[in-house]
């Protein structure tokens, strides 16, 4: 028995010995593996930095029409406090109608711009003087552009990298005193802390006791589970990390890695971004008290959130200060002074990944054409966009205010009306504002880009443009028949368009047919010109969409997004010059090295003369036609040109129009395509008008093309008149196309006879055309 | 026994450590196709030395124009174009800015844009015939560079009228 037991014991020992050896071997292999991972990853480790997106920089110069409060708002949005901080930059003060601005340095696409002091004087909504600190006149001052979001890594981690040397010494002291007092002496783990942790094995939870190195390893390489295996792996990797790298490298990486809480869906990482987010300053300017607050948050950023739990955060901060006094080298005076200060966090609204999600989506889509998605989310690119926050605010507030009002007046139930707005610069094609729905901060369905809706009468200008390109056949005065009309084509049901008022209006001058948006006259004109020809011009105007070659397309049975409509109207607003809409100006690397520019490109798509005539007719739409309601918002001197659009059963309400300096497109309707019972002029136009009124637009002044002459016309006879004729109009004509006869009211004996002749002639011409001769 | 626990913990930890993630390439971002190329094109001959100065009332425009010319002279053509676009945002109807941009596009070898932009300048030129003549000259040069001899001839004719 004894012998047998001895054998068994021997075997077991042998077995255990082999097993032990195998395990030791496996452990060695595993350690080697962990070692190679620690080295390769830590070495090649580059934090994924989101692409940072900026609004357009505000350029101040004498004569710029901008109200003082708008500049102040821009500075506040930039995080400039309204208080003088001598020796620092990034603040402003107001004294009466003057602003003194201490502008921070900024690296633009075309190079770095140093920090500087400015004095700006305002009068009557414009800048009247711009000077530097010593009073010398400045031609131009470019403010730093507002950050408006980013394209983030998958987990929405955001950070601003800092060097260890930039972090104030008191921050490091506070951190070490609080998180890892033995940091500079241990080898990756703290044995005493480990014993504490081991003792707590008895209970379910594994207690802290992690060194800074261990915390870094955990955040870097491991998932946050708390298991024994994790703890051991973490410990081994921490030791390996310490073998290969010095304390400063580890500390710097840690400072950039630590998590400091959430800004909505954006995760704040690293002390660089935390300094900006909580205190609106660069890390090197953090005070002792501010540093202590941030250090205190490391333990639990949500629990010690200074916004939601200010008392708790303050208590924790003071605890950190005490620890720092006991274990660091701050004096009692420093401690007392820091303890006495308030939390001091900035009071800025949460931004999340972006306050302008709709515009950001446009930027992202345009960037994806030229860049890898992965690079966008990790390389820290800086993207300079065309967004004008002032225009964006005006668009958002006009849309949300009006929609709320319509909902209240009509009570059509949930979900409420929706809408979208696009605003561009007619000369450069830059997109200044984009609103994708009434919940402007919600990054969901983007109606400005993704909602293709029937455009109704918005396509009509293409028909009139086609007609006006033939000055020998059509002028603004050419009578168009608005009598009953049926269009027959093989393989399609008969098409019998009707007017909005369900009436026919007989022969009306071309400009009136557009101004009143008569469907029947327009359909007849379009089919007379040829559907294909008209659609070819729609494409030349910038619509790349497939267009169905049906007659009904002429009256807007074509689905377009508000952005596409903006592209089409852009070509009209710029006088026939097609300019691709752009949301991005420039892209640089994180350090500011220029990568790419999206330059202004123009292409003449139409001769200037017909465009000039069309624009005049579209000004009539506002002056006397379907968009007259605009006079409730804007003075007539602005000579706005535009077009309303309303679709069947008023499911879609549109207005597209332009002033001298801005083009805007507004769509209103229900997502589920319910009839909204609101016309373009009742729903979309007020949004447009309210928005533009807030922006003090420039009047629309067109450059008169060479071959255009202005002729006084007597509206009664449609002949040449003079200013003396009742209701005389000055209308543009391509040279040689204006009526030759003179109206009786224009004076002169033979004028009357001439007038009769001419009337007969023009009636004859018109009849001939009607009969198709 | 404790040894066994630790080693097996290591092994288990080892097995569940997620594999290395793809590390981003060392090169930050490949320069896109349209990145500004080094601009060393020599100034085309025949550019008149004295180009009319921009309207004096806006010193912001004058300053930007000056910078753009300095950039263009130094061969920093992309910067010159960017600066002119800045000026055009302030005064989009200034034909001299459009003309200067046409000149830069020509130097950049972007002949189609040079021609379009010069024509855009013409559209705002009003009765300034000297300015128009210079635009037609730029158009002629752009057409020549594209191999459109007939178009260039026509433009040149317009430039001397």
What tens digit of pLDDT does each residue of A133-152 get?
Answer: 899 999 999 999 999 998 88
CA A631 to CA A728: how far, in whole Å? 21
Distance from CA of A473 to the nearest CA of B (A): 25
Look at residue A624 and tell me whether its pLDDT is greater than 50: yes
Report the share of chain A in percent with pLDDT over 90: 61
Higher pLDDT, A632 or A279: A632
Cβ–Cβ < 8 Å for A157, A273? no
Average pLDDT over residues B48-73: 73
Which positions in chain A touch B123 (Cβ < 8 Å)? 575, 577, 608, 703, 705
Across chain A, what does the average pLDDT equal? 88
Is a pLDDT exceeding 50 seen at residue B54?
no
Q: Which residues of A touch B88 (CB under 8 A)?
A: 427-428, 600
Q: Which has the minimum average pLDDT: A212-221, B63-72, B89-98?
A: A212-221
- Indicate yes or no: CB of A233 within 8 angstroms of CB of B14: yes
* Strand A51-54 to A126-132 pairing: unpaired
> What pLDDT is attached to residue A324?
93
Residue B50 in this model has a pLDDT that exceeds 60: no
User: What residues of chain A lie within 8 A of the CB of B120, using their CB?
Assistant: 577, 602, 604
pLDDT of residue A57 exceeding 90, the answer is yes
Q: What confidence category does residue A539 fall into, taking pLDDT thresholds of 50, 70 and 90?
A: very high
Q: Which of B12, B60, B92 sits opposite A140 (nearest CB)?
A: B60
pLDDT at A116 over 60: yes
Tens digit of each residue's pLDDT (9 = 90 or more) over A596-622: 999 999 999 999 999 999 999 999 999
Residue A434 near residue A450 (C-beta atoms within 8 A): no
Average pLDDT for A461-476: 96
Q: What is the mean pLDDT of residues A290-318?
A: 94
Nearest Cα to Cα of residue A601 among A580, A573, A585, A570: A580
pLDDT for residue A279 is more than 60? yes
Evaluated on CA atoms A582, A561, A564, A633, the torsion sign reads negative
Looking at residue B36, what is its pLDDT?
35
Contact between B123 and A705 under an 8 Å Cβ cutoff? The reply is yes
Any catalytic annotation for residue A457? yes
Average pLDDT of the residues in A386-391: 96
Using alpha carbons only, what angle is made at residue A761 by residues A755 and A766, rounded to the nearest 5 degrees? 125
Q: Are the C-beta atoms of A268 and A277 separated by less than 8 Å?
A: yes
Catalytic residue among A210, A354, A378, A457: A457
Task: Sort strands A266-269 and A259-263 into parallel, antiparallel or unpaired.
Answer: antiparallel
Task: Determine the average pLDDT of the residues in A540-557.
Answer: 87
- What's the confidence (pLDDT) of residue B18? 38
Give the helix, strand, coil percentages of chain A, each rounded to 5: 45, 20, 40
The shortest CB-CB distance from B14 to any of A33, A608, A703 is to A33
Q: Quote the pLDDT of residue B57.
A: 60
Question: How much is the pLDDT for B146?
Answer: 94
- Chain B hits for A27, CB-CB cut-off 8 Å, are 7, 10-11
A228 contacts B32? CB cut-off 8 A: no
pLDDT digits (tens, 9 = 90+) for A170-192: 999 999 999 988 899 888 888 77
Q: What is the pLDDT of residues A208-257, one digit of tens each?
A: 568 899 888 888 776 666 677 777 888 888 888 898 889 999 999 999 99
The verdict on whether omega for the bond into residue A415 sits within 30 degrees of 0, i.e. cis, is yes
What per-residue string of b and e applies to A216-227 under the rule 16 or more CB within 10 Å gives b? Answer: bbbebbbeeeee
Q: Do B17 and A601 touch (CB under 8 A)?
A: no
How do residues A563-598 score in pLDDT, each as one tens digit?
Answer: 999 999 999 999 999 999 999 999 999 989 999 999
Range A676-697 average pLDDT: 92
Q: What is the pTM of this model?
A: 0.82
Residue A757 clears pLDDT 70, i.e. is over it:
no
pLDDT band at B17 (very low <50, low <70, confident <90, very high): very low
Q: Which of A62, A233, A590 is facing B17, going by the closest CB pair?
A: A233
Share of chain B above pLDDT 70, in %: 65
Q: Which residues of B122-141 are buried (b: 16+ CB within 10 A; e: fewer)?
A: bbbbeebeebbebbbbbbbb
**Confidence tier at A488 by pLDDT (50, 70, 90):** confident
Give the residue with greater pLDDT, A681 vs A131: A131
Burial class (CB in 10 A: 0-12, 13-18, 19+), B16: middle
Lowest mean pLDDT among A352-361, A460-469, B75-84: A352-361
Question: What residues in A contact B13, CB-CB < 8 Å?
Answer: 229-230, 232-233
Q: Does B70 touch chain A (CB under 8 A)?
A: no
Interface test with B, best of A595, A610, A698 (most B CBs within 10 A): A595
């Amino acid at each position: 028995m004894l012998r047998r037991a001895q054998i068994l014991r021997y075997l077991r020992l042998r077995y255990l010995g082999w097993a032990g050896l195998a395990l030791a071997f496996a452990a060695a292999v595993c350690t080697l593996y962990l070692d190679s991972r620690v080295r390769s990853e830590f070495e090649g480790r580059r934090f994924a930095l989101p692409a940072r997106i900026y609004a357009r920089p505000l350029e101040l110069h004498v004569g710029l029409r901008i109200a003082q409060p708008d500049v102040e708002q821009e500075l506040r949005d930039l995080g400039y406090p309204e208080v003088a901080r001598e020796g620092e930059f990034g603040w402003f003060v107001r004294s009466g109608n003057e602003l003194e601005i201490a502008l921070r340095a900024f690296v633009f696409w075309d190079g770095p711009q140093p920090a500087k002091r400015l004095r700006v004087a305002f009068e009557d909504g414009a800048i009247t003087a711009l000077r530097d600190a010593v009073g010398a006149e400045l031609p131009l001052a470019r403010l730093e552009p507002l950050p408006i979001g980013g394209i983030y890594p998958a987990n929405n981690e955001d950070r601003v990298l800092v060097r260890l040397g930039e972090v104030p010494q008191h921050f490091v002291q506070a951190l070490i005193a609080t998180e890892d007092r033995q940091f500079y002496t241990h080898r990756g783990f703290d044995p005493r802390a480990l014993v504490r942790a081991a003792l707590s094995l008895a209970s379910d939870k594994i207690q802290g006791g992690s060194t800074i190195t261990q915390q870094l390893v955990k955040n870097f390489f491991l998932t946050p589970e708390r298991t024994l295996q994790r703890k051991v792996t973490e410990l081994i990797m921490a030791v390996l990390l310490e073998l290969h790298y010095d304390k400063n490298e580890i500390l710097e990486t840690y400072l950039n890695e630590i998590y400091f809480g959430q800004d909505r869906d954006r995760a704040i990482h690293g002390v660089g971004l935390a300094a900006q987010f909580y205190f609106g300053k660069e890390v090197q300017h953090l005070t002792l008290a501010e540093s202590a607050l941030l250090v205190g948050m490391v333990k639990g950023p949500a629990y010690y959130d200074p916004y939601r739990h200010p008392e708790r955060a303050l208590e924790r901060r003071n605890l950190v200060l005490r620890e720092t006094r006991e274990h660091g080298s701050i004096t009692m005076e420093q401690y007392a002074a820091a303890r006495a200060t308030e939390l001091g966090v900035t009071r800025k609204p949460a931004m999340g990944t972006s306050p302008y999600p709709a515009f950001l989506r446009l930027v992202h889509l345009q960037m994806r054409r030229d860049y890898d998605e992965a690079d966008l989310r990790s390389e820290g690119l800086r993207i300079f966009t065309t967004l004008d926050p002032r225009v964006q605010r005006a668009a958002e507030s006009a849309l949300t205010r009006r929609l709320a009002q319509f909902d209240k007046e009509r009570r059509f139930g949930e979900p409420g009306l929706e809408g979208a707005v696009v605003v561009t610069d007619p000369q450069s094609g830059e997109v200044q504002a984009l609103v994708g729905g009434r919940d402007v901060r919600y990054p969901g369905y983007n109606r400005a880009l993704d909602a293709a809706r029937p455009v109704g009468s918005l396509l009509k200008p293409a028909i009139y443009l086609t007609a006006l390109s033939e000055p020998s056949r059509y002028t603004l005065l050419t009578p168009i028949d608005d009598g009953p009309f049926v269009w027959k084509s093989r393989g399609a049901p008969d098409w019998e368009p009707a007017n909005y008022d369900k009436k026919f209006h007989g022969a009306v001058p071309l400009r009136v047919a557009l101004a009143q948006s008569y469907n029947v006259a327009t359909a007849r004109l379009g089919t007379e010109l040829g559907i294909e020809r008209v659609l070819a011009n729609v494409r030349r105007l910038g619509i790349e969409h497939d267009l169905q070659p049906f007659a009904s397309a002429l009256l807007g049975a074509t689905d377009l997004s508000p952005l596409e409509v903006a592209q089409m109207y852009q070509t009209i607003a710029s006088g026939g010059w097609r300019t691709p809409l752009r949301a991005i100006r420039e892209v640089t690397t994180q350090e500011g090295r220029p990568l790419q520019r999206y330059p202004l490109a123009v292409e003449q798509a139409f001769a200037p003369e017909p465009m000039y005539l069309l624009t005049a007719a579209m000004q009539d739409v506002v002056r006397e036609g379907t968009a007259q309601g605009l006079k409730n918002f804007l003075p007539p001197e602005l000579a706005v040109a535009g077009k309303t659009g309303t679709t069947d059963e008023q499911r879609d309400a549109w207005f597209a129009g332009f002033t001298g300096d801005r083009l805007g497109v507004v769509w209103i309707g229900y997502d589920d395509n319910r009839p909204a019972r609101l016309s373009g002029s009742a729903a979309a136009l007020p949004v447009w008008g309210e928005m533009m009124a807030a922006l003090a637009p420039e009047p629309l002044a067109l450059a008169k093309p060479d071959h255009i002459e202005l002729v006084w016309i007597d509206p009664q006879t449609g002949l040449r008149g003079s200013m003396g004729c009742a209701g005389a109009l000055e209308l543009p004509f391509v040279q040689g196309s204006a009526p030759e006869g003179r109206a009786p009211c224009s004076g002169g004996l033979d004028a009357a006879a001439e007038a009769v002749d001419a009337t007969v002639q023009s009636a004859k011409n018109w009849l001939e055309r009607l009969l198709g001769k | 026994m404790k040894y066994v626990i630790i080693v097996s913990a290591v092994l288990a930890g080892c097995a569940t450590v997620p594999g290395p993630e793809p590390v981003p390439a060392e090169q930050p971002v490949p320069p896109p196709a349209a990145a500004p190329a080094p601009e060393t094109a020599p100034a085309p001959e025949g550019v008149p030395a004295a180009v009319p100065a921009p309207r004096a009332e806006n010193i912001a425009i004058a300053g930007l124009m000056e910078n753009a010319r300095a950039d263009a002279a130094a061969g920093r053509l992309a910067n010159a174009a960017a600066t002119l676009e800045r000026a055009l945002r302030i005064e989009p109807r200034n034909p001299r800015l459009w003309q200067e941009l046409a000149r830069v596009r020509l130097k950049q070898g972007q002949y189609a844009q040079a021609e379009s932009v010069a024509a855009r300048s013409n559209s705002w030129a009003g009765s300034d015939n000297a300015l128009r003549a210079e635009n037609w000259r730029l158009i002629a040069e752009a057409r020549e560079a594209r191999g459109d001899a007939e178009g260039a001839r026509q433009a040149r004719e317009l430039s001397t009228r």
